[in-house]
Amino acid sequence: MISTVKRVRRGLRRRWAEWPYRRFQRLPEASIYDLTGDPRVTTVVTAPAASVNIAPTLEVAPLPIELTRVKSVIRSVPEQLAVMLPDAGIVGQYAVALWDGRRIRESALLSPRSAVQWAWPAGMARRESLTLDLAAPLCSPGSDSVYFVWMMHGAMRVPVIRALAETLGDMPKLIVPHSPARFVHETLDLLGVAPEDRIRWTHSRGQARRLVVTSETRWGPTFVPATCFGFREAMRRAAGDPAPDQPRRLYISRSKARRRRVLNESAVIALLAPLGFEAFTLEDLSVAEQVRLFAGAEAVVAPHGSGLTNLVFGQGIKVIELHTPSKYTNSFMALSRACGHTYAAWMAATSGLDYDIDLDALRGLLALQDLY
């Protein structure tokens, strides 16, 4: 009975938090590609349209269709854009852009059907409004605490925003999550964004005289190669070159994670060590150290997790990703394709969050990648 009352109260608080945003949620959605012909919108093409060769996933056992659906094929990626919208609104906890009576799709990774993603927690919906001159939002659900979301859908946009800034003659203030993790600040430091040019979004709404929005970093089964390469070069220049004695074959451990840990990790490391692999726990490294580590890598074996985001900093890596059915996505397959890596995957038979690795299957994947 008590738990039922708590659930009802929680639901009511959530609905109250959502209420101020429901009228914005019902606004029609527009893509920045729909706005390029409007004379009020300043548009810069940051990368031309391109064709991407989608390499197939290497496998030694059946995998979910999400990891194998796209075989070797050429896919088209549209031109990449940055636009400047005059007199734009900003609403909700993820700084959703509103312009000309429409919400702008690329300004945040939101489900259009979920008002709770727009809303601040209950009691925080009505915050002071903020007025800005020139700004660019870099917020999405998870961008404050999930390394992958921040890097791929936040930080990766910064070099693109700079391309538009050269046309405008002025760099926008960057709207960052309200409670950013350490890696958010470390990344912006590497990208040369001064602390005074970062705005922690703690407001419920705002207005920008000029608001910059960039196109999405991912298209279907691949990320945008030109955007990945621009981000990689900017981060590698700032982080410096890998050390000459740095290991080139990496095993990424999740031993410090709360879930999706490899239960027989000692046996996995014992199998990999004679092949030149060295184990790393990325929580112990700064962003700059992670950039240098992956920049010098030739092979990476890792259980699924945000550490594989660092594949964007490498070139020609042989990737082996180890999945569990309880949590898997095709994100790192898509990233590997965009960056020109060779990607292989394996799926555990268990349904639990933590799992054992089949050593024979791992040997098979290593052989497919010419690493065994």
Q: What is the pLDDT of residues 237-289, one digit of tens each?
A: 999 999 999 999 999 999 988 888 999 999 999 999 999 999 999 999 999 99
| 277 shares a domain with 196 | no
Side chain identity at 5, as an amino acid letter?
A: V
Which segments within 16-79 are labelled E, that is strand?
29-30, 42-47, 50-54, 58-59, 73-77
Q: Which of 200, 217, 237 is the last residue of a domain?
A: 237
Q: CA quadruple 350, 356, 357, 361: dihedral positive or negative?
A: negative
Residue 295, H or E segment? helix 287-295
**242 within 8 A of 295, measured Cβ to Cβ:** yes
| 28 shares a domain with 169 | yes
In whole angstroms, how far apart are CA 267 and each of 118, 262, 275, 346?
45, 10, 14, 17
- Structural domain includes residue 195: yes
Which domain, by its residues, includes 35? Answer: 20-49+80-237
Residue pLDDT, tens place only, 283-339: 999 999 999 999 999 999 999 999 999 999 999 999 999 998 877 889 999 999 999
Q: Which of 197, 216, 237 is the last residue of a domain?
A: 237
| 205 shares a domain with 106 | yes
| 230 shares a domain with 247 | no
Distance CA 240, CA 262 (A): 32
- Structural domain includes residue 127: yes
| 269 shares a domain with 134 | no
113 CB-near residues (< 8 Å, 6+ apart): none
Distance CA 206, CA 311 (A): 36
| 203 shares a domain with 142 | yes
- Structural domain includes residue 63: no
| 249 shares a domain with 203 | no
Number of domains within the chain: 2
- Structural domain includes residue 2: no
Distance CA 102, CA 140 (A): 18
Distance CA 289, CA 240 (A): 9
| 32 shares a domain with 175 | yes
247 CB-near residues (< 8 Å, 6+ apart): 276, 277, 278
The pLDDT assigned to 116 comes to 60
| 222 shares a domain with 265 | no
- Structural domain includes residue 10: no
The pLDDT assigned to 211 comes to 97
| 91 shares a domain with 43 | yes
Q: One digit per residue, pLDDT tens: the chain, 372 residues?
A: 567 888 878 777 767 666 667 777 778 889 999 999 899 999 999 999 988 888 889 988 888 888 887 778 888 899 999 999 999 999 888 999 999 999 999 999 876 556 566 666 655 555 678 999 999 999 998 999 999 999 999 999 999 999 888 888 889 999 999 899 999 999 999 999 999 999 999 888 899 999 999 999 998 888 999 999 999 999 999 999 999 999 999 999 999 888 889 999 999 999 999 999 999 999 999 999 999 999 999 999 999 999 999 999 999 999 999 998 877 889 999 999 999 999 999 998 876 788 899 999 999 999 999 998
Q: Which of 237, 272, 296 is the last residue of a domain?
A: 237
**305 within 8 A of 254, measured Cβ to Cβ:** yes
| 215 shares a domain with 299 | no
- Structural domain includes residue 56: no
| 249 shares a domain with 227 | no
Q: What is the pTM of this model?
A: 0.92
CATH number of 317's domain: 3.40.50.360
Rounded to the nearest 10 degrees, what angle do helices 158-168 and 225-239 cross at? 90
The pLDDT assigned to 221 comes to 83
DSSP H helices in 141-223: 147-153, 158-168, 182-190
- Structural domain includes residue 248: yes
The pLDDT assigned to 296 comes to 96
349 CB-near residues (< 8 Å, 6+ apart): 358
In whole angstroms, how far apart are CA 41 and each of 79, 165, 169?
17, 14, 16
Side chain identity at 87, as an amino acid letter?
A: D
